[in-house]
Amino acid sequence: MRQKQGRHWIVIAVTALAALLGLLAMSCSQNRQTNPAPKKELTKDQRMDWWRDARFGMFIHWGLYAVPAGTYNGKRVDGIGEWIMNNGKIPVKEYEKYAEQFDPVGFNADQWVRMAKYAGMKYIVITSKHHDGFCLWDSKVTKYDIMDATPFKRDILKELSVACKKHGVKLCFYHSIMDWHHPDAQAPFYPNYNDTSQSNPNFDRYVETYLKPQIAELLANYGPIGVLWFDGEWIKDWTEPKGKDMYAYIRGLRPSILINNRVGKGRKGMEGLSKSDEYAGDFGTPEQQIPPTGLPGVDWETCMTINDTWGYKSYDENWKSTEELVRNLADIASKGGNFLLNVGPTPEGLFPRPIERRLEEIGKWMAVNSESIYGTTASPIGKPEWGRCTARGNTLYLHVFQWPADGKLDVPLAGGQAAKAYLLADKKHAALPVSGGQDKLTISVPNAAPDSIDSVIVLVTNNR
Ligand code: H79
């Protein structure tokens, strides 16, 4: 009996100890959550490092607007495809019905990411939510999303996050502040959802109980996110203090993330300026334009359509040529910026064939020449008349768009500065003869251009 009682006490003591330890562990882990061990915060340069190195990314505009694809009630609606709800004056309840038709059975995240990677793009920015308010992921704060409102019921962002991780491509989200579907945002402004003179008295509720929780979901459930790319910040209800608050909120959750300047009011009109000491945001976002001389002192990224629309329009065939796209990439890199090239997939979940062809051709150029793009800095010799120039330390990459007919390429550098020159396409790096003058040097090049779009000559200098 005594023995039994003794054992009884031991059991109680052990149980109590275990419970105590459990409590202790719990409070410790709680402590860990509320008081994170002081981690050394990354500097802005460290946060920007991968992005500055990347230089080339894929923008993807995909949502319900791919279903009407530019046509409403049998009539073509002018303007960019993803704006059809506003431009076609489609009532919320009617637009919502496109969700029932959104069934992109051809969607294959792995294929999309492989195409981006093949083209040499290091990151993907996809519309988690565009102005129409429809969500491409399983959001817990709305039923207006891919899981609850469509027959497809597959979390597109989840599948992309898996594919991006597999292929080493950074996943980033575009998220619209403006929301034409939410009653506390712009929905009541129908038929002009983009009315910038009106205010919604419940907008703060939208921000606190909808927008911020959505951002938290996007940061919690899809692996490490490279960039949050905001848009639709021009509405009256969005202010710079709100932008700064959102910026701080996001950095509080993910200290190393990057956030574009449209989180606040740092973009005046369609300019790309972002000075983070004045405005919230890490980089400027010139849209559909390349700043003539870059934006000195500011990180920036030009976003651009591959035809004339962001979201798919079935009849927009105004494709930019591969030549224009590759030269844009070189032009942008030569000014120290990034190129975010947009694709608008079909409602079946496919990239239109003309897009695939261009990505393949860009990829072929990048396979030979990407060294002249990744991690390079702006041209130290301005815009030479034959093309563009990018730099990496002592090395200049001469992007020759117009191959010299006389076999002589003039470079505005003093002659003594050249240590060596060769064609990037030449695996043997056979030296090209260089002769020098006072204020220019001349490289003798073969008669035929190695690449009709952009032939790169590597010029190693000894002066920098
Ligand atoms: O997502 C793509 C487009 O749907 C979106 N941004 C890219 C990345 C885009 N939104 N608007 N535009 C493109 C052009 C429209 C600009 C205007 Fe305005 C909005 C004209 C009037 C309201 C902003 C505010 C510029 C002037 C006032």
Q: Which atom of ligand 1 is nearest to the CA of 270?
A: 25
**Ligand 1 neighbourhood includes 50 CB (under 6 angstroms):** no
pLDDT at 375 over 90: yes
Cα 231 to ligand 1 centre (Å): 8
- Fold identical between 44-372 and 387-461? no
**Residue 26 — very low, low, confident or very high, per pLDDT cuts 50/70/90?**
very low
From 311, 333, 281, 368, select the one nearest 127 (Cα to Cα): 311
Q: What is the CATH number of domain 44-372?
A: 3.20.20.80
* Summary mean pLDDT of the chain: 91
From 68, 117, 58, 57, select the one nearest 343 (Cα to Cα): 58
pLDDT at 273: 67
Cα 61 to ligand 1 centre (Å): 14
**Residue 271 — very low, low, confident or very high, per pLDDT cuts 50/70/90?**
low
Best mutation site among 80, 136, 340 for ligand 1, i.e. most ligand atoms within 8 A of its Cβ? 80
pLDDT at 33 over 80: no
**Ligand 1 neighbourhood includes 301 CB (under 6 angstroms):** no
Q: Tokens for 66?
A: 């791919």
**Residue 81 — very low, low, confident or very high, per pLDDT cuts 50/70/90?**
very high
pLDDT in tens, 320-363: 999 999 999 999 999 999 999 999 999 999 999 999 999 999 99
C-alpha to C-alpha distance for 52 and 337, rounded to whole angstroms:
8
pLDDT at 4: 42
Best mutation site among 234, 235, 265, 339 for ligand 1, i.e. most ligand atoms within 8 A of its Cβ? 234
Q: What phi and psi values does residue 6 have, to the nearest 5 degrees?
A: -55, -45
pLDDT in tens, 286-313: 999 999 999 888 999 999 999 999 999 9
- Residue with the smallest CA separation from ligand 1 atom 10 is 232
Give the HSE-up count for residue 157: Cα atoms under 13 Å, Cβ half-sphere: 29
124 neighbors 116 (Cβ within 8 angstroms): yes
Cα 308 to ligand 1 centre (Å): 14
Best mutation site among 173, 238, 270, 306 for ligand 1, i.e. most ligand atoms within 8 A of its Cβ? 270
C-alpha to C-alpha distance for 385 and 404, rounded to whole angstroms:
11
Rounded to two decimals, the pTM is: 0.91
Q: Which atom of ligand 1 is nearest to the CA of 83?
A: 4
pLDDT in tens, 128-184: 999 999 999 999 999 999 999 999 999 999 999 999 999 999 999 999 999 999 999
From 291, 295, 293, 313, select the one nearest 304 (Cα to Cα): 291
Q: Tokens for 2?
A: 């005594």
pLDDT at 438: 79
pLDDT in tens, 85-139: 999 999 999 999 999 999 999 999 999 999 999 999 999 999 999 999 999 999 9
Going from the C-alpha of 387 to that of each of 288, 326, 390, 401, 453, the distances in angstroms are 21, 12, 11, 5, 10
pLDDT at 444 over 70: yes
Cα 287 to ligand 1 centre (Å): 9
306 or 276, which is more confident: 306
**pLDDT (average), residues 53-72:** 98
Cα 266 to ligand 1 centre (Å): 14
**pLDDT (average), residues 396-405:** 98
Give the domain ranges of the chain.
Answer: 44-372, 387-461
Q: Tokens for 187?
A: 């929905």
Q: State the amino acid at position 311 in one-letter form.
A: G
CATH topology of domain 387-461: Immunoglobulin-like (2.60.40)
Query: Which residues are within 8 A (CB) of 245 and not within 5 positions of it... i.e. 6 or more apart?
Result: none
Cα 270 to ligand 1 centre (Å): 8
pLDDT at 49: 98
